[in-house]
Amino acid sequence: MNRTRKLIITALMVSLTAVGAQIVIPIGSVPVTMQIFMVFLSGMILGPVWGGMAQIVYLLLGLFGLPVFAMLTSGPGILAGPTGGFLLAFPVVAFLTGFEKPKQVILFRITALFLLYMLGWFRLALFTGNGLTALITGVLPFIGFDFLKLWAAAFVYQQLKRRLLSVG
């Protein structure tokens, strides 16, 4: 993929992550969104470096005031808040899901999801003052959803790769 095409797809993935953040199912202190689906997809489509960069750009847009986070929020308070750990994990998650070594792809993707949960859980635990409460409210309800999103992103990526990404 040439540099211009990567830049265009990077901008598209930043935009899709922002759109995915607005698809919200509020189930507690951490809402279910389609953000992580787009984070997975950006890593898979763009590869580790460009996928991670797309998510850094996404975070910077939100940090500097563009309402790209869930429920059209933005600013440093969101990144420093209870769910900030999940958001700050996005570049690492995209980076890890971007690896395509045949025998290690599943390991990288599961590791990415594990790191998302660890960073998110840790940050949430600091706010709740209780690691168990943070685990029960911020991690456990999402495991099934997120594995489904990971599988769906891999499926969509394979379809795109077959149909679109190999063109020109």
Per-residue pLDDT tens over the stretch 45-75: 999 999 999 999 999 999 999 999 999 999 9
Residue 84 has pLDDT above 80, yes or no: yes
Residue 38 has pLDDT above 80, yes or no: yes
Domain architecture of the chain: domains with CATH: 3-156 (1.10.1760.20)
Length of the chain: 168
pLDDT, one tens digit per residue, over 101-118 is 888 999 999 999 999 999
Residue 21: the pLDDT is 96
Residue 74: the pLDDT is 97
Residue 128 has pLDDT above 60, yes or no: yes
CA distances from 163 to 32, 48, 97, 157, 158 (A): 30, 21, 20, 10, 9
Separation of alpha carbons 6 and 1, rounded Å: 6
| Eight-state DSSP code of residue 69 | B
Residue 96 has pLDDT above 90, yes or no: yes
Residue 25: the pLDDT is 84
pLDDT band at 32 (very low <50, low <70, confident <90, very high): confident
Specify whether the CB–CB gap between 31 and 70 falls below 8 A.
Answer: yes
Residue 167 has pLDDT above 60, yes or no: no
Q: Closest Cα to residue 116, out of 148, 145, 146? A: 146
Mean pLDDT of the chain: 93
